Amino acid sequence: MSLYVPFLVVGMLFTGSSNSLWTKFQDMQCVENCNDPDPSKRVYFEQPVWQTVQMFIGEMCCFLPVLFALIRHRNYRVVPSDAIKEEKPAMRGWKFMLFWLPALCDLTATTLMNVGLLYTPVSIYQMTRGSLVLFVGVLSVVFLKRRLHPHQWFALIVVVLGVAVVGLSASLTKQALSQPGDLEPRSIEEGPNEVAVVVGVLFVLFAQIGTAIQFVLEENIMSTYSVTPLVAVGFEGLFGLLTILLVSPIMIHFKSKSDFFDLARGYHQMVDNPPVLGSSVAIATSIGFYNFFGMSVTRHVSATMRSIIDTCRTITIWIVSLGLGWEALVWPWSLLQVFGFSLLVYGTFLFNSLISPPPFLKAPATVEYTAIPTEDDEDGRVRGVVIEDREAAAGRSLDQTATLPSDVGMGFDVVPPPVPRVDPARRD
């Protein structure tokens, strides 16, 4: 059991990085007029809606091991162990419809991110996703009524600055490149390249709002009902795919305005090109495992830790992209990109109290809940622990998107009252 959580973290890191790289590889594939000597007439795979469908199909594949267990054991019933440990009600019947809400958020966020990925380098795309902790923190205060410490508000400001620096570095890098690269927008020929990159960054940035809402909804559902991560991911994929099927007749009417909504053309581009089809299978497989690992991390650790892992995989994606030649180091703007990424990582780690805050910010006090005299000082007087923060007495390092567990501190369901000071003269 001690190796289970590290296994989930490594699995989420690997599958998440693979998914972003495979998606960018798919965007770079030429699907029409590939032999035309005029590069402007070549058509590349730009189908964010179909890429979202691939994601939901991959999530639905999480049903396969559950169905296999049901077929092999006729009387098998999925009852997670936490149903007994935490006495949470099992999710049954219409309550599974609750996963439609995070599925809608996932649908919106993924489509926006796929559009943004068309116009941004994959490392810039992933760095911008590091702003997720900003929206998670704000939503935790607004909707979950959590209290953020001063160093956490400072961390959110650092994250905002990091996102701004990353977007600026992307624009300056594109402007500095004299020759068009593989990562330029394929279908937008008017306007400077740096403008398209900034627009792509904004798409990815707005998508993080939907992802933050998704994470908060998932944690609330998982903390309220007893449901396995495989079943949760499978239902999100099912409801997401049903939503796309329901709105597809509406999207077809907009195909004249954007190729993104030409579903029939996108289907033939995907099926008739082996590299695109193969990468579709890889995307569906990686996203299925990634969501399983991510949901498991949310269940066993927290949604905040899930966002931390998502931020840490950025450096892996950037190194692989440089090795494949998808991106280039442009001095000194690449240093600015690294600086922006460093701000994102620092802000994320500081928000979750993984590193010490600056001296001018007061850190959350670590209070030991006890009234027993500890030791004598130099004057022979007995020193006891004085509780100054009642919330800290109930539990330290509470996750900002998690509910207060009943077994924190002394085991009270509510915050206990302060303990009176101990009389030094009494020794009994």
For the chain, the average pLDDT equals 74
Most confident region among 155-159, 161-165, 232-236, 414-418 by mean pLDDT: 232-236
Full-prediction pTM beyond 0.75?
Answer: no
Q: In the chain, what's the furthest Cα-to-Cα distance?
A: 95
User: Token digits for 172?
Assistant: 């300056």
The whole-angstrom separation of Cα 263 and Cα 277 is 15
Q: Is 192 left (phi over 0), alpha (psi -120 to 50) or beta?
A: beta
Task: Provide the pLDDT for residue 218.
Answer: 82
Map residue 46 onto helix, strand or coil.
coil
> Is 60 exceeded by the pLDDT of residue 299?
yes
- The tokens 């959580």 sit on which residue? 5
The whole-angstrom separation of Cα 280 and Cα 211 is 22
**Where residue 20 falls among pLDDT bands split at 50, 70, 90?**
confident
Q: Tell me: the pLDDT tens digits for 41-87?
A: 888 888 888 988 998 998 898 888 888 877 877 655 555 544 445 56
> Is 50 exceeded by the pLDDT of residue 185?
no
Task: Provide the pLDDT for residue 125.
Answer: 79
Is residue 68 exposed (0-12), middle (13-18) or buried (19+ Cβ within 10 Å)?
Answer: exposed
Q: Nearest Cα to 87, choosing from 351, 407, 414?
A: 407
376 beta partners: 382
User: Token digits for 426?
Assistant: 């009494």
Looking at residue 12, its amino acid is M
**Where residue 196 falls among pLDDT bands split at 50, 70, 90?**
confident
Looking at residue 384, its amino acid is G
> Which residues lie below 8 Å from residue 108, measured CB to CB, with a gap of 6+?
207, 210
User: Token digits for 34?
Assistant: 């590939």
44 beta partners: 30
User: Token digits for 36?
Assistant: 């035309």
Q: Nearest Cα to 301, choosing from 397, 413, 208?
A: 397
Task: Provide the pLDDT for residue 298.
Answer: 72
The whole-angstrom separation of Cα 301 and Cα 50 is 32
> Which residues lie below 8 Å from residue 353, measured CB to CB, with a gap of 6+?
151, 152, 363, 364, 397
Q: Nearest Cα to 156, choosing from 142, 170, 169?
A: 142
Is residue 87 exposed (0-12), middle (13-18) or buried (19+ Cβ within 10 Å)?
Answer: exposed
Q: Is 7 left (phi over 0), alpha (psi -120 to 50) or beta?
A: alpha
Contact 61, 197 (CB under 8 A): no
What is the number of residues in the chain? 428
Q: Nearest Cα to 265, choosing from 55, 115, 50, 120?
A: 50
**Where residue 348 falls among pLDDT bands split at 50, 70, 90?**
confident
DSSP string, 54-81: HHHHHHHTTHHHHHHHHHHSTT-----T
User: Token digits for 367?
Assistant: 């209070």
